[in-house]
Structure 1
């Protein structure tokens, strides 16, 4: 049995064990964080996900294996790969209109990691009002280079250039010049370091960013 495939007899169990973001959903998404082993499954609507995300729209089209399985199987299980189950769950809940007031604010590092997941699945536009709220309500524990860097990274990945410039200016005014060295210790900050130096290694099919701080 290949990765992502499930025996027909396990379909009911897969649905019953999944978090029902749509009780009438037509696919179970399963994600697992390789570094921690944490995993979660979600019963979702591909109709909602197709509207919210070009990535999911392509994934569930007939030209992709996941879409072919959707046509051939009853509520197939689709693996999302090495993702953070908690952050993917938050993203999927909001896309399924199940966000709550508890989701409006989070720590800068959590927001930065969430922004990378939203970017991966190209659903930032669908989450527009939430993105604005997240950036405005970051729970700040300190003004260290690391904490500020996570906030700037989130604005950068979410493509909120006014917020990116504002926080970048704050960083240059408040932080010691050695803040870049602190960022170099965190792999997540690579896009910011590229922006600072002007040497951007853009992913395939992505525009080169020339913004500097």
Structure 2
């Protein structure tokens, strides 16, 4: 990626962002950004921005935080400036997650349609990252895309059951087992660790609070708990993104020692 990128034929704003230790500048249309995002509208027309002189022209400068992935941001900006030839028809799941983070931060989900529909459809058809908790964020951001919702529903239900074993002060992880024919597999190769220290505390607190209520009969049966948790865990996790990350590693040990 070159240090400077031109997204608009008539740019009037410089968008500064970073990729690693390298600062990059995108020459963009302020109107395109303001029309796409109410958050950017406020930044551009309410806040007082610094300026830079480039080729004897004065440009206002909007600096973005380091939490925006440069590659994902570039794709977003090409879409907002109607540069369709520059927009990939298919992307990786990680790039979809990174784009979702940007859309959530700047309220851009609607402005990107229908591109996310193409990306999600391709990923689902290729069975890419099925079961990855990143789908919770994707489904939260692109809530009108059915394929994303289907992916997230199964994940939320699984977390609702798994969270019954979490404890805030002691557990730094829980073990996830693969399921085959409705039976939990006992093979060490079918076990993976999900680190709870990377899950937002609000999600853990919510899970433990609901499990406590169930034990004392405050909540109803297990099915009621499962459906309630599925909704609440998804909401809590998505509310805390992009800090939420799941790290997995294979566990080669007997289940009893896990």
TM-score bracket relative to the smaller structure = 0.5 to 0.7
**Alpha carbons 1:115, 1:157 under 8 Å: kept:** yes
- Structure 2 counterpart SS, 1:81: coil
User: Residue 64 of structure 1 corresponds to which residue in structure 2?
Assistant: 47
**Alpha carbons 2:36, 2:111 under 8 Å: kept:** yes
Deviation at 1:94, TM superposition (A): 0.8
User: Residue 96 of structure 2 corresponds to which residue in structure 1?
Assistant: 111
User: Which whole-Å CA distance do the structure 1 matches of 2:127 and 2:61 have between them?
Assistant: 38
CA deviations on 1:9-60 (whole Å, 9 max, x unpaired) are xxxxxxxx62111132001101014xx3244211000011111111111111
User: Which whole-Å CA distance do the structure 1 matches of 2:122 and 2:201 have between them?
Assistant: 24
User: Residue 91 of structure 1 corresponds to which residue in structure 2?
Assistant: 76
User: Which whole-Å CA distance do the structure 1 matches of 2:158 and 2:147 have between them?
Assistant: 16
Deviation at 1:69, TM superposition (A): 5.3
Q: Which has the higher strand share?
A: 2
User: Residue 42 of structure 1 corresponds to which residue in structure 2?
Assistant: 26
* 1:128 correspondence with 2:113: yes
In structure 2, relative to structure 1, the CA distance for the partners of 1:111 and 1:179 (3 Å cut) is farther
User: Residue 184 of structure 1 corresponds to which residue in structure 2?
Assistant: 196
User: Residue 249 of structure 2 corresponds to which residue in structure 1?
Assistant: none
**Alpha carbons 1:49, 1:57 under 8 Å: kept:** yes
User: Which whole-Å CA distance do the structure 1 matches of 2:145 and 2:197 have between them?
Assistant: 25
**Alpha carbons 1:48, 1:95 under 8 Å: kept:** yes
User: Residue 167 of structure 1 corresponds to which residue in structure 2?
Assistant: 151
User: Which whole-Å CA distance do the structure 2 matches of 1:89 and 1:22 have between them?
Assistant: 12
CA deviations on 1:182-205 (whole Å, 9 max, x unpaired) are 263655x8898777482638869x
Deviation at 1:107, TM superposition (A): 2.0
CA deviations on 1:126-181 (whole Å, 9 max, x unpaired) are 112112122212254554x4xx2223421222223743441134447899955496
* 1:29 correspondence with 2:12: no
- Structure 1 counterpart SS, 2:21: coil
User: Which whole-Å CA distance do the structure 2 matches of 1:142 and 1:95 have between them?
Assistant: 27
For structure 1, the 5+ residue unaligned runs are: 1-16, 205-213
In structure 2, relative to structure 1, the CA distance for the partners of 1:186 and 1:201 (3 Å cut) is closer
User: Which whole-Å CA distance do the structure 2 matches of 1:135 and 1:190 have between them?
Assistant: 29
User: Which whole-Å CA distance do the structure 2 matches of 1:53 and 1:109 have between them?
Assistant: 23
In structure 2, relative to structure 1, the CA distance for the partners of 1:192 and 1:203 (3 Å cut) is closer
How many residue pairs end up in the alignment?
Answer: 179
Structure with greater Cα Rg? 2
**Alpha carbons 2:16, 2:25 under 8 Å: kept:** yes
* 1:157 correspondence with 2:169: no
For structure 2, the 5+ residue unaligned runs are: 163-174, 178-192, 207-228, 241-258
User: Which whole-Å CA distance do the structure 1 matches of 2:176 and 2:157 have between them?
Assistant: 11
**Alpha carbons 1:109, 1:151 under 8 Å: kept:** no
CA-based RMSD of the aligned residues comes to 3.8
**Alpha carbons 2:78, 2:86 under 8 Å: kept:** no
The more displaced of 90-99 and 38-47 is: 38-47
